[in-house]
């Protein structure tokens, strides 16, 4: 198995959020919903520290699907540089969340085209769809 070790910063952040969940679990009343502040901490582990959804869910004892939905609902925070000539540019990678996308097309003649994608659809799919509907350019 390919298990990567956590950096000290990742480990410390994960431990801090795990401790917050442990305190909440000890003091909560029955069937109480997880507070938004704790969900935010779990989502931050994904967006800011790059931990996998599975690692976060296992460590914090959360439902994988619920965590994935919270991550999808919360876009990553992007810091805008101050209008300053000395500001440096940096690029953030897009979120690693994959979604399924299905594109279906049908011609009046009855011919059908179905394209399935995991993650972002390739822009070439637009050209393929045009070719299918209109024929050669």
> Is residue 103's pLDDT more than 90?
no
pLDDT score at 9: 87
**Out of 32-41, 53-62, 120-129, which region has the weakest mean confidence (pLDDT)?**
120-129
Average per-residue pLDDT in the chain?
A: 80
Confidence of residue 25 (pLDDT cuts 50, 70, 90): very high
Ordered alpha helix ranges (H), the chain:
8-27, 36-47, 53-60, 64-73, 124-134
Tokens of 19: 């401790």
More confident residue, 70 or 98: 70
Q: How far apart are CA 36 and CA 33, in angstroms?
A: 9
Confidence of residue 63 (pLDDT cuts 50, 70, 90): very high
Q: State the average pLDDT over residues 108-124.
A: 76
More confident residue, 134 or 22: 22
Terminal alpha carbon distance of the chain: 48
Confidence of residue 56 (pLDDT cuts 50, 70, 90): very high
> Is residue 1's pLDDT more than 60?
no
> Is residue 93's pLDDT more than 60?
yes
**How many CA atoms within 13 Å lie on the side-chain side of 137?**
5
């Amino acid at each position: 198995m390919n298990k990567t070790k956590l950096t000290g910063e990742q480990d410390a952040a994960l431990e801090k959020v795990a401790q917050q969940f442990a305190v909440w679990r000890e003091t909560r009343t029955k069937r109480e919903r997880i507070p938004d502040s704790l969900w935010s901490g779990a989502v931050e582990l994904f967006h800011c520290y790059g931990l996998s959804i599975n690692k976060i869910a296992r460590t914090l004892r959360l439902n994988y699907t619920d965590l994935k939905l919270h991550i999808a609902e919360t876009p990553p925070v992007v810091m805008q540089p101050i209008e300053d000539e000395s500001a440096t540019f940096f690029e953030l990678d897009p979120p690693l969340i994959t979604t399924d996308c299905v594109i279906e097309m049908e011609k009046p003649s009855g011919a059908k085209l179905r394209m399935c994608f995991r993650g972002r659809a390739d822009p070439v799919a637009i050209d393929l769809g045009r070719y299918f509907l209109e024929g050669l350019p």
